[in-house]
A and B are shown apart, each in its own frame.
Chain A
C-alpha cells in the first residue's frame, strides 16, 4: 500500500470528507426522525413513497430514462457509424460541439425556435396551410422538447465513445466476412455490434448520469415550476431544499441510489445470461 497510498491519500481524504461522509450521512438520516436522533425504521420511506410530488417526479424521470436513453443510444451509434465511414473531421467536430455550448447561452435560440410565435410553428403553418399556435415548452410537448435537447447535447460525446470502439475493431474481421458473402447488415449484426459490447456499458452509464442534467435545460426554458410532464427529480429536490426538508430529501436520495443499484444489478444479470 505504501507508495500507492501516498499517491492516493490527498484524493481519498477529500473524497471521504466531501463525498463519502455526505453520502453515508444521507443513507443514515433516511432512517432517522426530523432532528436526526431517533431511529424510525422505514417510516420516512412510507411518507416519501406516498408523496404525490415524489411519485410525479420519479415517474417522469423513469419515463425520461426509458425513452430518452435508448433514443440517445441509437442516434449516437448511427452517427458514429456514419462518421466512421465518411471520415471527415468537420462532421465529428460539429457533432461534438453541442456538448461544449453552455445551456444558458443556447436557451434564447431554443425560445426563438419553440415559442408560440417561433420558427417551428411558422414552418409547420407553412407546410400544413393552417395556423399553428403551440407553446412547445409549456404543454404536453415539453417532455419531447427536453428529450430533443438532451439528445442534441449528448449525442456527440456518446459518438466519440462509439468511435473509439469502432476504431478498435480489426479490419480483417470484415474482410473475412466479406469473403464469406456477408452484406452490410450482417456485418453490423455479427461483427460491429458484438465488438462494441464493451463500449455499451459506459455509454449507458454516462447517458443516465447526464439525464439528470436535463434539469438545466428544463430550468432555463421553463423555470423552477415547469409543466408537470417535465417536473423531474431535481425540481423536487430544489423545492424540498428551499424548505430544508432534510428527511424527505435523504430518503428520496436513498430510494434513488437503491433504484440505481437495482438497475445496475439487473443489467449485470442480463449480460451474464446473454453471454
Chain B
C-alpha cells in the first residue's frame, strides 16, 4: 500500500513538473508578445525613452516593460488616421493575398480530389512532381519566374505575386491528404444514391475535407501575408509593396507607430488562427499521418 501511494505521489509531482516546464516554455512565446503589446500603447516620448536603440534612431539603454507607464491609444490613432502609406500597403497585402487564396482553392481543391480519389496512369509520378515543386525553395525558380512574368508583361503588378502563388503546390498536398482521409463508405453511399462525380466532390468531398481546406487557406494566408522574397524580386515600385516589405522602412520614418503597425499586421493571421485552430490541427494531422 505504501509503495503504491509513494508511486502515485511521485507520478503527480512528475505531472506538476511537466506542467511547470511547459508553462515556462510558453513564457518564451508570451513575453515577446507582451513586450510588443505593451509598446503599442506607449506615447511617443515613452517609446523614445525606452526603446531608442532598437528603433535605430539613437543609443540608450533599453528600458523594457511589459506594461506601458502612460497607456494611450495615440499610436493607433496616428497609424489608422494619419498614415496613408500604411493603408496603401495594408491594402496591397490584401489585394495580393486574397485572390491568391481564392485561386489556390479553385484550382487546388479539384486537383487534390483527383489525386486522392482517382487512379490514373502516372499518378504517383505526378504527385511526386507536385511534392518536389512544393519542396523547392523560391530561389530555385526565381530567375525563370522573373523571365516568364517579364514575357507576360506582369512584372511590377499585383498579378506578379498572385498568379504564381495560385499554382503553389503546397495547398494541393495538404488538401490531398485531407481528402484521402474521407471515409470511402460515405462516397459509396453518395454514388448509390445516384450522385455524379461533381456532386460527389461538392456534396461529400468538400464538406468532409473541410479541415484540409481550412488548413491550406490558413497556412497560405500566413505565408502570403509574410511574403518577402517574391515582392522583393518582382515589385520594383514601392507603391505596390505589401505590408511585409514596407514595415521595416516604416520604422525608420515613423518610430512612434512602428509597434502599432506591427500589431495591426499581426492581428489578421492571429485571429484567423484562433478561429480555425481545430481545423488546422486536423488538417496538419491528416498531412502527417499517412505513409
B144 touches A23 (CB 8 A): yes
Q: Taking A17-B148, A165-B289, A215-B228 as contacts, is the C-beta distance between A104 and B118 under 8 angstroms?
A: no
CB distance from A73 to the nearest CB of B (A): 14
Contact, CB under 8 Å: A105 / B266: yes
Assess whether A216 is in contact with B226, with CB atoms less than 8 Å apart: yes
B113 nearest in chain A by CB position: A7
Give 1 or 0 for each of A1-38: 1 = CB within 8 Å of chain B CB: 10111111011101101111111011001000000000
Of A39-47, A110-118, A175-183, A186-194, the one contacting chain B is A110-118
* B153 interface contact, C-beta 8 A: no
User: A7 to nearest B CB, angstroms?
Assistant: 4
Map CB proximity to B onto A74-116 as digits: 1 under 8 Å, 0 otherwise. 0000010011011010111111111111111111111111011
Q: Once bound together, how far apart are the Cα atoms of A244 and B56, in whole Å? A: 32
Residues of B within 8 A of A19 (CB): 133, 141, 164, 167, 169
Of B73-81, B185-193, B257-265, the one with at least 4 CB within 8 A of chain A: B257-265
A209 on interface, CB distance cutoff 8 Å: yes
User: Which of A48-56, A138-146, A197-205 lies at the binding interface?
Assistant: A197-205
Q: Closest residue of chain A to B165, judged by CB?
A: A18
Q: Compute how far the CA of A26 lies from the CA of B147 in the bound complex, rounded to whole angstroms.
A: 11
A168 within 8 A of B: yes
Interface string of A243-265 (1 = CB under 8 A from B): 01010011001001100100000
- Is A174 positioned at the interface, with any CB of B under 8 Å from its CB? no
Q: Is the CB of A99 within 8 A of B141?
A: no
Chain A residues in 8 Å Cβ range of B129: 20
Bound-state CA distance A83–B130 (Å) is 33
Known pairs A21-B144, A100-B270; A108 contacts B36 (CB<8 A): yes
In the complex, what distance in Å separates the CA atom of A209 from the CA atom of B33? 26
Q: Kindly state the separation between the CA atoms of A94 and B33 in the bound complex, as whole angstroms.
A: 10
Q: Which residues of chain A are near B266, meaning CB under 8 Å?
A: 101-102, 105
CA distance A241 to B64 in the complex (A): 39
* B260-279 contacts to A (CB < 8 Å): 261-263, 265-266, 269-270, 272-274, 277
From known contacts A95-B26, A237-B139, infer whether A82 and B228 are also in contact, taking CB-CB under 8 Å: no
A129 close to chain B: CB less than 8 A: no
**In the complex with contacts A100-B222, A117-B60, A249-B143 CB distance below 8 A:** yes
In the complex, are the beta carbons of B142 and A249 less than 8 A apart? yes
Contact B22 A82 (CB under 8 A): yes
The interface on chain A, measured as residues whose beta carbon lies within 8 A of the other chain's beta carbons, has a size of 93
Q: In the complex, which range does the number of interface residues on chain B fall in? A: 35 or more
State whether A234 touches B137 (Cβ < 8 A): yes
Point out the residue from B15, B142, B164 that lies within 8 Å of A241, measured CB to CB: B142
Q: Are A198 and B121 in contact (CB under 8 A)?
A: no
Task: Report the minimal beta-carbon distance from B105 to chain A, rounded to whole angstroms.
Answer: 11
A257 touches B33 (CB 8 A): no
Most buried by B among A101, A115, A244: A101
* CB of A134 closer than 8 Å to a CB of B: no
Q: How far, in whole Å, are A207 and B126 apart by their CA atoms in the complex? A: 23
B26 to chain A: closest residue by CB? A94
B108 within 8 A of A: yes
A119-B139 contact in complex given A104-B265, A109-B35, A160-B285, C-beta closer than 8 Å: no
Closest to B169 in A: A15
Residues of A within 8 A of B280 (CB): 96, 160
- Report how far A5 CA is from B114 CA in the complex, Å: 8
The complex places the Cα of A79 from the Cα of B135 at a distance, in Å, of: 25
Q: Provide a sorted-by-A list of 30 A–B residue pairs whose CB atoms are within 8 angstroms.
A: A3-B197, A4-B117, A7-B201, A10-B106, A15-B130, A18-B163, A19-B164, A22-B147, A96-B280, A100-B270, A101-B33, A102-B262, A103-B226, A104-B247, A105-B36, A105-B262, A108-B258, A111-B55, A112-B54, A112-B62, A115-B62, A117-B53, A117-B61, A199-B289, A212-B137, A212-B138, A219-B228, A220-B248, A237-B142, A246-B147
Q: A residues within 8 Å of B by Cβ?
A: 1, 3-8, 10-12, 14-15, 17-23, 25-26, 29, 79, 82-83, 85-86, 88, 90-113, 115-119, 122, 152, 157, 160-161, 163-165, 167-168, 198-199, 201-203, 205, 208-209, 212, 215-216, 219-220, 233-234, 237-238, 241, 244, 246, 249-250, 253, 256-257, 260
